[in-house]
Amino acid sequence: MIPKIREAFNQNFREELYENVQKDIVAAFGEPTAFRLSETPVFISKELKTKVFDACDAILEQLESIDIQKIRNTFIPKNLQSPAPLNKPHFLAIDFGLCEGLDGEIVPQLIELQAFPTLFFYQPFLGKAYLNNFPSIAKNKLHYFFSGLDEASYLEELKTVILGNEKPENVILLELFPEKQKTRIDFWATQKALGIPVVCITKVIKEGKKLFYERNGSKTPIHRIYNRVIFDEIQAAKDLKLGFNLNDDLEVQWVTHPDWFFIISKCMMPLLAHTYIPKSYYLNDFPETIALQEYVLKPLFSFAGKGVNLNPTQEEINKIKDKQNYILQKKVTYASLIKTPSETNSKVELRILFVWNTAENRFKPVVNLTRMSKGDLINVSFQTKDTWIGSSISFFEE
């Protein structure tokens, strides 16, 4: 990708520098990450950066032409739709696998997209930790922020989106059992950056259409919710007692509206077309002539790779009753492009993170999240036995 920078990083790599990054995380947030941290960031060349953002621009343009209400009614039962104004989604994440092109070049291939927040506050901390502990990175003009942002302006951008005009004590980060979530390091990073509390959905109090939480022993009104709750986790939890539901009629502002989790997601994939977008079909409407061995079977609304079948058979497909909730997506070949100290190189999945900027009336790219693997499926939650894999961040050439 950027051979000179990769070579310099690998030559200067020392285990204690990697351990220092981990120590910085514990010192800042009181615990290590619950997922594996990669020993290295990824370095993205100008050429690959151009391809990635060409694909992003094409996706954003096509999203504007899709009938959102039709998607909403198709995939969200009426009784589960939230009555709050839908407006624009506050967040967008576009995931690309870095793959082998026909001529041997590295090309991005869309893996999925999601209008749901992710590690917006942990990722900049991680980028800075790599910079602080690996001197070879700082010698190059590389960046992990986009749109001309730096640490201060990035924070202001996120404050505007998440806090709006509310006081921090009236804004909560909402999650189900946050202390048990693998992404909880970002909750603590968010709390530290914005001063908002992290509140379990089981602790929220509902009175009429108003919501409250306990703060220093007193009942405090909730005006705005930074929503990190995954809907299927609520459905899967047994004997869960909630004071309110995500689809209740409430006097609260959602960041972002609960329905966007379903609307802009893998269910959009069959509607998009581009050189860097693999062909996809809804499972209840795919050509009988396709070769199944060339496709991956994915549930539309699972999270963290749950339920993905890399080698689906017709027999398995026939057993699925709710076919409308699955897609078949053309397989791509991840490139083993990150040289590591072992015999096996690492593969990369790159997530570009956007926020909706009201003043500019657009999705604005702000930062990235990167995951690395040496296996067939990139999932940082379950890969713990190898090295130079896991959660990371990409530095882009100017």
In this predicted model, what pLDDT tens digit does every residue of 302-360 receive, in sequence order? Answer: 655 578 899 999 999 999 998 988 999 999 999 999 999 999 999 999 999 999 999 99
The 10s digit of each residue's pLDDT in 196-209 is 999 999 999 999 99
Rounded-to-integer distance, Cα 235 and Cα 233, Å: 5
Stretch 15-34: mean pLDDT? 98
Q: Looking at residue 314, what is its pLDDT?
A: 92
Compute the distance between CA of residue 300 and CA of residue 376 in angstroms, rounded to an integer. 20
pLDDT tens, position by position, 245-297: 999 999 999 999 999 999 999 899 999 999 999 999 999 989 988 999 999 99
Non-local (6+) Cβ contacts of 187 within 8 A are 173, 175, 178, 181, 198, 228
* Cβ atoms within 10 Å, residue 276: 20
Digit-coded pLDDT (tens) for 168-206: 999 999 999 999 999 999 999 999 999 999 999 999 999
User: CA-CA distance, 93 to 114, in Å (whole number)?
Assistant: 5
Least Cα distance to 263 among 301, 226, 303, 234 occurs for 301
Looking at residue 380, what is its pLDDT?
52
Q: Read off the pLDDT band of 381 (50, 70, 90).
A: low
Please give the pLDDT value at position 140.
Answer: 80
Cis ω on the peptide bond leading into residue 256 (within 30° of 0)?
A: yes
pLDDT reading at 300 higher than 90: no
pLDDT at 383: 53
pTM of the model: 0.94
Asked whether residue 132 carries a pLDDT value surpassing 70, the answer given is yes
- Which tokens sit at 111? 């893996």
Beta bridge partners of 350: 96, 370
Which CATH entry fits the domain spanning 164-255: 3.40.1130, 3.30.160, 3.40.50, 3.30.1490? 3.40.50
